[in-house]
Amino acid sequence: MDQKTLTIDGVELSFDPRQTIMEAAAAAGVYIPHLCHHPDFKPHGSCKLCTVKVNGRFASACTLPAAEGQEVLNKTLELNQLRTRITQMLFVEGNHFCPGCEISGHCKLQATAYGLGMLDSHFPHFYPARRVDASHPDIMLDLDRCILCELCVRASRDMDGKSVFGIAGRGMESHLVVAAESGALVDTLIEVSDRAAHVCPVGAILIKHTAYEKPIGQRRYDHHPIQAALLQEDQGD
């Protein structure tokens, strides 16, 4: 089989025809910012943080198949500004108070903001009224922090076989729901061992009785920038 190649920021790299641009980049050690992408799940394309330019047009790197001869731009001022705006909108759309958040230092949204050099939220905060569900004995759901990446939805459906989570509403009314008539997490099938309980990139799903087991200052993104940490994850390390 002939080796297929594309370029990212002018650097040629080879790829497997079954890969997306995101997968080809990760395999070559090239970081493309992302939040809703995870190597264990089918491409989704919801956060748009992985937007790149392919042959002059914007595209989501996590969903677009890699193809021979593609010229991909990833590290440009234009794309950095676009990704910064997306990240700022995620911060103001929810209630993300990093200094008081238990997942600070483990949070991909927080680490992405640092990686992009984001200095402020730019937009007015929405301060939405969202509930915290602490009904389950082992798992807490804090909808203040949900970014609608649907990783928990995909994990519960595709890996746990339970479909505990779903998305309801449209546009600004979109929100995470649980599969129980009561709407309470305790009345679902979720267990602390489920993949869905551990896949959240922010602090929307938390395991009880584990807060601050690893002190701030000793957490994943305290020691490794998100570029290095996510490349390890995407490469299966």
Q: What is the pLDDT of residues 7-18, one digit of tens each?
A: 999 999 999 999
> Residue 163: pLDDT band by 50, 70, 90 thresholds?
very high
pLDDT score of 129 = 85
- Are 114 and 211 found together in one domain? yes
Same domain, 52 and 104: no
pLDDT for 38-63, tens place per residue? 999 988 888 999 999 999 999 999 99
If asked whether residues 33 and 54 sit together in one domain, one would say yes
Using pLDDT thresholds of 50, 70 and 90, give the confidence band for residue 222: confident
**Number of residues that this document lists for the chain:** 237
Q: Give the mean pLDDT of the chain.
A: 93
Nearest to 180 by CA among 117, 218, 136: 136
Q: Give the tens place of pLDDT for each residue, 17-37.
A: 999 999 999 999 999 999 999
Give the pLDDT of residue 236: 63
- Taking the C-alpha atoms of residue 113 and residue 111, their distance in angstroms, rounded to an integer, is 5
42 with 20: CB under 8 angstroms?
no
Q: pLDDT value at position 121?
A: 92
Alpha-carbon dihedral angle through residues 41, 45, 51, 54, given to the nearest 10 degrees = 90
Euclidean distance between CA atoms 160 and 220, whole angstroms: 26
Question: Residue 237: pLDDT band by 50, 70, 90 thresholds?
Answer: low
Residue 128: band (very low, low, confident or very high) from pLDDT cuts 50, 70, 90: confident
Residue 70 CA to residue 21 CA, distance in Å, equals 9
Structural domain contains residue 233 = no
Number of domains within the chain: 2
Q: Does 8 fall in a domain?
A: yes
Same domain, 17 and 109: no
- Residue 26 has which token pair? 């990760």
> Is 35 inside a domain boundary?
yes
DSSP string covering 166-232, please?
EEESSGGG-EEEESSTT--GGGS---TTSGGGT--SSSSEEETT-TTSS-TTSSHHHHS-HHHHHHH
Nearest to 41 by CA among 143, 145, 166, 156: 156
Domain that holds residue 41: 4-75
Residue 49 sits in a domain whose CATH number is: 3.10.20.740
Report if residue 237 sits inside a domain: no
At 87-115, the pLDDT tens digits run 999 999 999 988 888 999 999 999 999 99
Residue with tokens 């509930």: 131
CATH number for the domain spanning 108: value is: 3.30.70.20
